Chain A
């Protein structure tokens, strides 16, 4: 009994020490940013009260300084985006301040304040969450620094005048393109199954809508016999496909909301003695390197790209804005459609 008490006490002490560390650390870290930011904020509005933000028409890529607050490095896709931003900056001669937030909003907020203090010309951010940006975006606006959202949006709680544009994919269009591609693969129509992404996830909802609306509107001979979630994972896509092809052995195609599930479907089809890519066409979205390998082997047919290579579009929009021009509220990313016949040539150029 005494033992247990002693251990309890030990844990309690350890717990207190731990919580003390936790409260102490952030204040220490936050201090420099907080000191820097208000100083800027106090000076800036005073000037602006008289002169509104001035355009800088002489700005060029070489003279421009850009801050970019990245979410993190959680996936190959994200790495591809980071690489694109960095490489494009080097290529164009833009002075880039890059910050990796490691999936934390407070880190992104800190990064933005640091960028403001450094006096950058524009800030790009892939917001880790959709809410809670009003204050820090306002600080940037007060300092006459435009904010550009990249690949992830914010919700309606963030006033629209606080950011100039959103650069990213149109998931509905991706679904629609997938439908058109799939219809070309099966001119005679037939039964198909759909593998959905995580239930409730934005891309899953839009890729389903875009695909199903297009099929319903233009291809009455294609029949979606089942649509089930595979949670965007290979294992999920495989298990669902294995179950569905036992009930619907006559399907002629599989449409997957991402490449990963399509790879799972390919495994399931092969194990069932079917030939993915020939007997059963496989169409998916994303454009991962692994699906190109499957296309080279003839097991997948088409992937509709969801490109992370947003660097060129981002810097172009940033320069236009800084020079005083206007850009679209939603700049849709340049995305390709890749088919089996060119996969062997395309695969070497895939970076994600």
Chain B
């Protein structure tokens, strides 16, 4: 019993564990109400099933959450990622062009340029925050408002449809029976992990998030670290934008990446990274993104009526947040203990 208690205590102190617990609970719920949720079959030489869908449809959010984690860890936030997704998709599709089976720009160049534009968007946010000193929420709000306008301008306000098969690989292709988008997430995660944990960059980010002023006094170039964090976040939004536009084979300036900024921030929060900055966990944010995506897929497959979807989502997010709150757990703990005492 004591051993169990200590395990629970250890688990309780690990925020990642609570996120994983929440994810497991959602999946378990599916297993009970709809057992076929876990059925995975082979179709055309690749895996096919609801679980695969979660990973595939959740890929853009997972990449986005990684970028957002960096910005949040510096004590900031990036509201403009949704519109940046729309801009990236618009740039990529307009470079590829609307002809059947051919492209105006070599695929590699089109994607690289689109990602470059996304990184530039992030760089712009970074300049506003680090050099001009505008509050992150205000600074990124500027691009949040302007971004969709820019995307509309590129696409002439229309939905652009493309017919160039090789571009579709990013969003709907498969490699070794797994979705290509999943490999992209893995790659971004590994690069981000190496870059932050095998260099001092991660440490700088955390120290700025905890105390920006003190970090500056210890000689950390706070401005450049922030600038880089926002630029990388923009780049991640760009990668997400490529996956999304490639998946739907079109660019929609109005709707591509709509509300993704909120989901990305929520993923980071659910993953246990404090929104006031400091210690961060990419793995946590990825699990946070998976929680949100499995929730969406669950809602579709269990037939929640459209009118109450938002309510159900909010309720689950509320429960997960409660689960992660140390204060709440202590409250429940002391409540249980006092009852136990009364019985004895």
Contact = CB atoms under 8 A, between A and B. Distances in A.
A289 to B, nearest CB: 10
A260 interface: yes
B157 A229 contact: no
Contacts of A227: 306
A234 B249 CA distance: 9
A227 B303 CA distance: 8
Given A235-B247, A239-B57, A243-B300, A196 B306 contact: yes
A272 B303 contact: no
Interface in A47-96: 73-76
A202 interface: no
Contact of A243 (B161, B172, B297, B306): B297
Greatest chain B CB density within 10 A among A74, A229, A239, A272 is at A239
B300 A75 contact: no
Contact of A273 (B44, B248, B250): B44
Interface string B27-62: 000000010100100011000111001000100000
Nearest to B50: A246
Interface in B132-160: 132-134, 157-159
B159 A246 contact: no
B315 interface: no
Nearest to B297: A243
Nearest to A236: B255
B133 A7 contact: yes
A234 B300 contact: no
A342 to B, nearest CB: 22
B252 A233 contact: yes
A242 B44 contact: no
B256 A235 contact: yes
B49 A76 contact: no
B53 A242 contact: yes
B306 A233 contact: no
A200 B249 CA distance: 28
A199 interface: yes
A321 B106 CA distance: 58
B48 A243 contact: no
Given A76-B158, A229-B306, A243 B250 contact: no
Contacts of B132: 7
A244 B301 contact: yes
B50 A235 contact: no
A235 B44 contact: no
Given A199-B307, A247-B36, A260-B159, A228 B248 contact: no
Interface residues of A, number: 34
A74 B252 CA distance: 12
Contacts of B309: 199, 229
A321 B300 CA distance: 50
Interface in A213-229: 226-229
Interface string A241-255: 011101100000000
Contacts of B303: 226, 228
Query: Which of A75, A246, A273 gathers most chain B CB within 10 Å?
Result: A246
Contact of B53 (A3, A228, A229, A243): A243
Contact of A247 (B34, B43, B133, B172): B34
A307 interface: no
A271 interface: yes
Given A196-B306, A239-B57, A271-B172, A4 B256 contact: no
Interface in B232-270: 244, 247-250, 252, 255-256, 258
Contacts of B296: 239
A246 B53 contact: yes
B249 A243 contact: no
Contacts of B247: 235, 238
Which among A235, A260, A264, A267 has the greatest number of chain B C-beta atoms within 10 A?
A: A235
A240 interface: yes
Interface centre among A11, A196, A229, A271, by most chain B C-beta atoms within 10 angstroms, is A271
Contacts of B158: 75-76
Contacts of B39: 246
Nearest to B39: A246
A74 B157 contact: yes
Contacts of A76: 158-159
A101 to B, nearest CB: 15
Contacts of A11: 134
A196 B306 CA distance: 9
Contacts of B307: 199-200
Interface of B: 34, 36, 39, 43-44, 48-50, 53, 57, 132-134, 157-159, 161, 172, 244, 247-250, 252, 255-256, 258, 296-297, 300-301, 303, 306-307, 309
> What 6 pairs between A and B have smallest CB-CB spacing?
A243-B300, A229-B306, A233-B255, A199-B306, A7-B133, A235-B248
21 contacts: A4-B133, A73-B157, A74-B157, A75-B158, A76-B159, A226-B303, A227-B306, A228-B303, A228-B306, A231-B255, A234-B250, A235-B244, A238-B247, A239-B296, A243-B297, A243-B301, A246-B50, A247-B36, A247-B301, A260-B159, A267-B172
Interface of A: 3-4, 7, 11, 73-76, 196, 199-200, 226-229, 231, 233-235, 238-240, 242-244, 246-247, 260, 264, 267, 271-273, 290
